[in-house]
A and B are shown apart, each in its own frame.
Chain A
């Protein structure tokens, strides 16, 4: 596991919405280069809120998010240069071809001097079928769109990647392919923060796994620790104790 300075860091992060709901309660976590951190938790546990805070979509009530040492609230545009994002349901421009979508988001990410072949190379890397490169995205399956979403993240070449339930709704083959690409990116030194419901895959890919409940990070285990523990049982136990508490 990497030991260098964290690329993603949540420092005492809290988020209370206008309706009074405490979505995040003093969260502390960090993700280092070459590390995959999986956030597990039920719906409403605060996983997506954490990602939204890293992307400065909402300002935190207290605490700070850092990307590559940059305070996201103070300098969001500079911070976003160092992070790529893949959402649960990658929705792109349906009338654009895969390459046109990739070209637009690459340019937004600051990659302005790419050739047609560069786009093709990235799409080949995520195993998108060649014939789909210049097809309109509106005809793509969810798996194909997720692959294109990953291509967008890869082409940006940011040191950190945020993934919001990226394997949700994917068939097992597509999900496995997806995790293989994640493993490659991890080996390239990317810091990856992934929110997911998928305990099996979190254990498979995560260097660290955190369980969130009602906005709090209630448990964190490393890959080594999980070799001797049953993550599934831990997760179910935490969820049951939460139900009993309510």
Chain B
């Protein structure tokens, strides 16, 4: 019975112009996103080839992540140059995105298309599922048959999910296949697996919004009411709530500004230099002191900053859209957690370089290995929060579907 209703929904979608408009729009946007983001990645990769440090150069640079084509996240920040010096680590501009339009508009990566456009499309598939059948009088005819309301709802959900997910996956797979033909874009086996996980996460995200659409449709008697309510909820979930946490958390956690941190570092440097000029201690001990104090400052800043980030994330998770972004960027290796791990590696690299220089000042550092960073393994990424966010998104979707069921069971079909 569920299959009969699901097939009917698929057929109804295939026969409606809405379906083709939406799918063509999604295909166009995905294709455009892949094209723009691939160009952006290749430009940044070219920049990296130019500035890539040789062994012994006290600069740590991370190459751009090919998965940033799909989820750019913090990849631009992570691919900056970190120059190691006696005062600590100086962050250089690094590979700036060549597309200046990005400065005015959000980066049109795959994640953005999914987050904004696909969520709206999923709502457009779900917003009239119950109310239109009620308005059209077909709901009475369906329920006059031996089909339970749960079966009807599940069939509708499945049919619309398949109608949405299959063309979307086909379009995306085609786009990825075309990307694969580009010799400049190479994915490792691990990155292919991560990409597959991002697609699974995207399906969970679509399912969440479809369930939300069906829930509101079951709560309303008229299609127009359902649409207005859903547009409001969509704007709240996609644009307002995921930014609210950051604003609220900033009022609750004090984090020193980057300028204050820089000033403090400069003070340590000046103090130690003056001490040395006065003949107190040797250069090696001063450099060690500067390095240690700067590390302590950085560590203190990092603790406060991490607290701010954790609080922001937890508040933002009120909207499962934020969970989707966190999970997808972490899986892609462009998330907040990955950026933190990279910075720790840079500090470790700096300390190793300073220790080596101080241990044998005459030997030089020309044979010191260049900085290399590998993304955290997938199991660590998942255990570090991505799995929680994905589960939270799925739970919210299931919860909304369960609520739809409870509402629909009591729905007045007359």
Residues 50-64 of chain A, each 1 if its beta carbon lies under 8 Å from chain B, else 0: 001001011000000
Is A87 within 8 A of B15, CB to CB? no
Whether, in the assembled complex, B11 has its beta carbon less than 8 Å from a beta carbon of chain A, the answer is yes
Whether, in the assembled complex, B4 has its beta carbon less than 8 Å from a beta carbon of chain A, the answer is yes
Is B15 within 8 A of A108, CB to CB? no
Number of residues from B at the complex interface, CB < 8 A: 23
Is B146 within 8 A of A93, CB to CB? no
Q: Which residue of B lies closest to A57 (CB)?
A: B413
Whether, in the assembled complex, B366 has its beta carbon less than 8 Å from a beta carbon of chain A, the answer is no
Interchain nearest-CB distance for A125 vs B (Å): 20
Whether, in the assembled complex, B148 has its beta carbon less than 8 Å from a beta carbon of chain A, the answer is yes
**Known contacts being A87-B137, A105-B145, is A52 close to B414, with CB within 8 Å?**
yes
A95 to B18, CA, bound (A): 12
Q: Which residues of B contact A57 (CB under 8 A)?
A: 140, 143, 412-414
Contact pick for B15, options A90, A96, A156, CB 8 Å:
A96
Contact pick for B414, options A58, A83, A89, A107, CB 8 Å:
A58
Q: How large is the interface on A (under 10, 10 to 19, 20 to 34, 35 or more residues)?
A: 20 to 34
Interchain nearest-CB distance for A246 vs B (Å): 25
Whether, in the assembled complex, A84 has its beta carbon less than 8 Å from a beta carbon of chain B, the answer is yes
Interchain nearest-CB distance for A61 vs B (Å): 15
Whether, in the assembled complex, B244 has its beta carbon less than 8 Å from a beta carbon of chain A, the answer is no
A110 to B151, CA, bound (A): 14
Whether, in the assembled complex, A39 has its beta carbon less than 8 Å from a beta carbon of chain B, the answer is no
Whether, in the assembled complex, A34 has its beta carbon less than 8 Å from a beta carbon of chain B, the answer is no
**Known contacts being A87-B140, A107-B4, is A95 close to B145, with CB within 8 Å?**
no
A142 to B414, CA, bound (A): 20
Q: Which residues of B contact A89 (CB under 8 A)?
A: 137
**Known contacts being A57-B413, A57-B414, A58-B412, is A110 close to B146, with CB within 8 Å?**
yes
Considering the complex, which residues of chain A in the window 161-218 have a beta carbon less than 8 Å from any beta carbon of chain B? 162
Whether, in the assembled complex, B236 has its beta carbon less than 8 Å from a beta carbon of chain A, the answer is no
Considering the complex, which residues of chain A in the window 66-123 have a beta carbon less than 8 Å from any beta carbon of chain B? 77-78, 80-81, 83-85, 87, 89-93, 95-96, 100, 104-105, 107-110
Most buried by A among B1, B11, B15, B145: B145
Q: Which residue of B lies closest to A58 (CB)?
A: B414
A87 to B8, CA, bound (A): 21
Q: Which residues of A contact B196 (CB under 8 A)?
A: none
Q: Can you identify 30 A-B contacts, CB atoms within 8 angstroms?
A: A48-B414, A52-B414, A55-B143, A55-B144, A57-B140, A57-B143, A57-B412, A57-B414, A77-B147, A80-B144, A81-B146, A84-B144, A85-B140, A85-B144, A87-B140, A87-B141, A90-B137, A91-B136, A92-B141, A93-B138, A95-B12, A96-B11, A100-B11, A108-B1, A108-B4, A108-B5, A108-B142, A109-B145, A109-B146, A110-B146
B-side residues, CB < 8 A to A, are: 1, 4-5, 8, 11-12, 15-16, 136-138, 140-148, 412-414
